[in-house]
A = this chain, B = another copy of it.
Amino acid sequence: MPKSFLPVSGLVLPRFAGVATFMRLPHMMLDSDDVSDVHVGLVGVPWDGGTTNRPGARHGPRQLRDLSTMIRRINPASGIDPFLRCNCADLGDVGVNPADVKDTMTRVTDFYDRLVSLGIVPMTAGGDHLLSLPVLRALAKGGPLGMIHFDSHTDLQAGHFGGFRYTHGTPFRRAVEEGLLDPTAVVQIGVRGTMYDGEDIDFAKANGIRVIRIEELMDRGVAAVMTEARAIVGSKRIYVSFDIDAIDPSQAPGTGTPEIGGFTTFDAQRMVRLLENLEIVGADLVEVSPPLDPSGNTAWVGVSIMFELLCAMVPAVERRHSA
């Protein structure tokens, strides 16, 4: 009965009313009976245990849910009505331990293992970027994935603070090392900001990761860059990771490690729309830090991108369920 998966309309109940779930979708716990009907699960990982600089992303899912009640039904550019084409639900937050990184990584992977076994495609709201690692540990059980990664940083650092290996600057270094990502099918878009020593870029080059710096994106334009990105990942199963700090900090100030000179939300929308029809097996939107933007403007950008990601995922999800 897909009707029950439709969000409450703002023409009926004002957007500011009601308990806030992601995009006003029904809220289900993973152990409820209905969960087997879900195609796409919107999940929060309220965690910033990997943050080396300014914390606060643990509050991301709450604020993202709040602002997401301003999302309506239809994508105006593509005409896609994602909630009609797939059963989407808010599956709540993973139960994290804010004071213990390794314990939380296990909890995240356990949660996503269950999603995989239920055939649910996850759309994750962070949380800091370290969460992508335990998510990939669950999603890549069937083999290494490709990835399209929007970010101002590579997140390919070796470690911090005397060799500590699990921070929000290291998830994809670890993911490559653990065989969760196929580096030759990884594209990073929007990279910029001052560098420590460039060792992360060396790692990218040595492993075949394609890094598209902001200057290249600005010079070539989003269409050309996305054509290349699509060519690199081809028909592989891919993960899409969108760090809100990829967007210029004037448009998304609520994040812990901003870098000036980023691309616009309009560019972001166009790029994510160009992901349509790729074989996306999961996506995340990370690093929204509400204490750094109590206005909610950054979270509004975040959920607007989540909606675009959702629309981009729909065709592949639909294909699988109609197959």
Please list the residues of chain A having a beta carbon within 8 angstroms of any beta carbon in chain B: 9-21, 27, 44, 46, 48-56, 58-59, 61-62, 65-66, 70-77, 90, 92-101, 103, 157, 160-162, 164, 166-167, 191-198, 213-215, 218, 248-251, 253, 257-262, 264-266, 268-269, 291-295, 297, 300-301, 304, 307
Bound-state Cα–Cα, A168 to B157, Å:
30
User: Which residues of the other chain, B, contact A249 by a CB distance below 8 angstroms?
Assistant: 251, 297, 300
Known contacts A214-B266, A260-B300; 19 additional CB pairs below 8 A are A14-B58, A14-B96, A17-B93, A19-B90, A49-B99, A56-B56, A74-B195, A74-B198, A76-B194, A77-B215, A97-B161, A99-B164, A194-B304, A250-B250, A250-B297, A259-B304, A260-B269, A260-B301, A261-B268
**A260 B304 Cβ-Cβ under 8 A:** yes
In the complex, 27 of the A-B residue pairs with CB atoms within 8 angstroms, ordered by the A residue number, are A14-B53, A14-B58, A17-B61, A17-B94, A17-B95, A17-B96, A19-B92, A52-B98, A55-B55, A55-B98, A56-B291, A70-B257, A72-B195, A74-B195, A74-B198, A76-B194, A99-B161, A100-B161, A103-B164, A194-B307, A248-B264, A249-B251, A253-B295, A260-B265, A261-B264, A261-B269, A291-B292
With A73-B195, A195-B74 as contacts: A248 and B260 at CB distance below 8 Å:
no
A261, chain B: closest CB distance, angstroms: 4
**A99 B50 Cβ-Cβ under 8 A:** yes
Closest to A214 in B: B266
With A55-B58, A58-B14, A251-B250 as contacts: A196 and B99 at CB distance below 8 Å:
no
With A90-B19, A269-B260 as contacts: A194 and B101 at CB distance below 8 Å:
no
Closest to A91 in B: B19
**B16 A54 Cβ-Cβ under 8 A:** yes
Q: Which of B19, B96, B291 contacts A65 (CB 8 A)?
A: B19
Closest to A50 in B: B99
**B291 A99 Cβ-Cβ under 8 A:** no
User: Which residues of the other chain, B, contact A304 by a CB distance below 8 angstroms?
Assistant: 194, 259-261
List the 4 shortest-distance A-B pairs measured between CB atoms, nearest first: A291-B291, A72-B194, A55-B55, A261-B266
**A194 B300 Cβ-Cβ under 8 A:** no
